[in-house]
Structure 1
């Protein structure tokens, strides 16, 4: 009895392969952290992004900048934070008087125009050589690509322009907001003297916007919280302030696209007060600015100054910067210096005419040490010259 192989097709009972959904387009100014993979956004200051563990400010986190004395260095950080949000197309809310936030202008690169012209010329030369090589390709039987056509397997054109994660700003210039971008939205606390919290209107406005736009990256700036120039006397009551901070924490947990930056004047509310300690505990990150005395300045390691700036002015450190608390984004406790900056070193800051810089702080050598070093070097040279 002979056996014959029968080609029987078995019916597959299963769900047909459905095409995978398209990947969501990433929002401008947001990228995954190279350290932890969490979504981060830039603070507008490149040195501050490097100091934070994840390479920027994580979405859904808050940062408070405390400053000692009567200076206002923290306003430069807040202005850069707001300008970065405007250029990236984020929604920016400012709790301040109308028009009080002056945004710094973007630094224009000198070689950008020259590079674009060179790229255009290179593209023209490439197209010419491709046309010249058409005869050689026909002889070999290689299919030629028409000018302007995409190579095989590519259905989407390559992105020609990529938005940078962090822009450079000039504090002496003023940013002109493009008409396509979202302008700043100013919020103000209630100025009534009643028992109602003056922060209720701010929370209600933010909640309404975040519910209607949950996926839009949003930035909230609160310069000089509880300053008597803008806030009523009742706003400094602990139950009003702490309820306001708790409401902000709930908004951060509900809408992960929100980031908050606050400046806290220690001259009015020092760290010895329980209210300041509670604010530090409730917020995710705390940075302390300790300016040097007015007549004191120290030069740090020389770096390349900005275009048109004075090197001596850029190198003078104007105070110490301490990270008292960093947002813990995982069980491993990602803290400060995750990208190789600020690992156990004292950090200093400088606000020049054109930028805000954060660098490691080093004391200069004592004059006596310099003299001894020069004498020892001269002796070594003299010994080398002797025969």
Structure 2
């Protein structure tokens, strides 16, 4: 029996409408796991760690012996925050935070990608003579116009290390500084506890906590800590004792910091002189307390500095640990053999290319090869060119 045509069927099924994702300045979702990423300021470093730093994560930079290159990456991270208008928190125990902010690299206003795209766009409508057309490869001349224009989409900015960032740009971005050497009676406890209290206060009062009611104007907080775990932070006593509790307070700080960042729109970059820790187990424990861990091995003052194999580089770049967020398998680069190079205006991380092996010279003397060997008759034979005498 057929059902009446006028009967309506009531169901609880409703089509779920996809809401608009809130756009944050200087952030984009990852293509691997959908995690929100921000740039470190170094495009090559973004590529190595999986496209950028995940929001709510901690990056550990194991500093080189002198700590110059590690702080340079820290300044890149802060300069990128200035260009995107992110809020910043800078903590240090040795150098004053104001001095670090004054040495941020200057952004490059003339974008080379946009400049190349504009040049091609201007030349699209131009008429070429017969001689000019002969200079253009036939495969590129007949390509469609939308393929001949390079992509202008990029992540991050370009910087010039030979110039400092203008003070006008620094004044437009809110930045809170924490210097351990400044005496303040209102703070008590260990240095790590004081630092965590300041970071927690900045996250809660600045509106970066995701557990609270969201507002329309959301922003990202960039936290930078310079030379954490150095003797100025109170780690000298733990290193001298050589007991099993050394580095325990530092690990507690990193554990609490990562738990705080998981529920906030904040990213932390920490530089640490891990070469001062004699126990490798403590260093490995510190690495596990962070999401991403990289190491810088500088050639300055080392035997590799005079090695002609590494003459084009300033140090080796080691990947200790990569994040595994929202996925069972994290990002893995094509190769682990990486090195960094410091030029006059920028720092780049490249694949380590060794020089080609040169062929052996043919000037060395060679033993004459006998054209024919006479057959021997028994053991006592001395015929032919054989040198056996028995």
TM, length-normalised to structure 1? 0.66
Choose from 76, 80, 94 the match for 1:80.
76
Aligned 1:88-127 pairs, distance under 5 A: 88-96=84-92, 97-101=96-100, 102-109=103-110
Q: Shift in Å at residue 297 of structure 1?
A: 6.3
Hey, what's the Cα distance between the residues in 1 that align with 2:337 and 2:115? 39
Choose from 57, 66, 75 the match for 1:61.
57
Residue aligning to 2:233: 231
Q: 1:65 and 1:110, CA in 2 relative to 1: closer, same or farther beyond 3 A?
A: closer
Hey, what's the Cα distance between the residues in 2 that align with 1:14 and 1:329? 38
Contact 1:82 1:103 in 2 (8 A): yes
Q: 1:218 and 1:26, CA in 2 relative to 1: closer, same or farther beyond 3 A?
A: same
Choose from 281, 292, 299 the match for 1:292.
299
Aligned with 1:182: secondary structure? coil
Aligned with 2:253: secondary structure? helix
Aligned with 1:44: secondary structure? coil
| Paired residues, number | 304
Whose radius of gyration is greater, 1 or 2?
2
Residue aligning to 1:248: 257
Aligned with 2:99: secondary structure? coil
Q: 1:85 and 1:371, CA in 2 relative to 1: closer, same or farther beyond 3 A?
A: farther
Per-residue CA deviation, residues 27-65 of structure 1 (Å, 9 max, x unaligned), is 11100112222111101000001111x311111111111
Aligned 1:301-380 pairs, distance under 5 A: 316-337=312-333, 341-342=334-335, 345-367=336-358, 369=359
Aligned with 1:63: secondary structure? strand
Choose from 198, 203, 211 the match for 2:196.
203
Q: 1:259 and 1:370, CA in 2 relative to 1: closer, same or farther beyond 3 A?
A: farther
Hey, what's the Cα distance between the residues in 1 that align with 2:40 and 2:309? 25
Contact 1:188 1:202 in 2 (8 A): no
Residue aligning to 1:159: none
Contact 2:235 2:247 in 1 (8 A): no
Contact 2:299 2:314 in 1 (8 A): yes
Q: 1:9 and 1:55, CA in 2 relative to 1: closer, same or farther beyond 3 A?
A: same
Residue aligning to 1:378: none
Q: Are residue 220 (structure 1) and residue 236 (structure 2) matched? A: no
Contact 2:208 2:221 in 1 (8 A): no
Q: 1:206 and 1:266, CA in 2 relative to 1: closer, same or farther beyond 3 A?
A: closer
Per-residue CA deviation, residues 320-368 of structure 1 (Å, 9 max, x unaligned), is 111110011134321332xxx43xx41111122211111111211234x
Hey, what's the Cα distance between the residues in 1 that align with 2:52 and 2:312? 25
Q: 1:371 and 1:49, CA in 2 relative to 1: closer, same or farther beyond 3 A?
A: farther
Choose from 270, 285, 288 the match for 1:281.
288
Contact 1:107 1:169 in 2 (8 A): yes
Q: 1:104 and 1:293, CA in 2 relative to 1: closer, same or farther beyond 3 A?
A: closer
Q: Are residue 33 (structure 1) and residue 12 (structure 2) matched? A: no
Q: 1:274 and 1:244, CA in 2 relative to 1: closer, same or farther beyond 3 A?
A: same
Per-residue CA deviation, residues 281-323 of structure 1 (Å, 9 max, x unaligned), is 11111101112254436578xxxxxxxxxxxxxx921111111
Contact 1:226 1:235 in 2 (8 A): no
Hey, what's the Cα distance between the residues in 1 that align with 2:63 and 2:44? 18
Residue aligning to 2:268: 260
Aligned with 1:167: secondary structure? coil
Q: Are residue 168 (structure 1) and residue 170 (structure 2) matched? A: no
Q: 1:349 and 1:94, CA in 2 relative to 1: closer, same or farther beyond 3 A?
A: same
Unpaired runs of at least 5, structure 2: 125-151, 210-217, 239-245, 363-390
Query: Which range moves more in the overlay, 318-327 or 187-196?
Result: 187-196
Q: 1:287 and 1:231, CA in 2 relative to 1: closer, same or farther beyond 3 A?
A: same
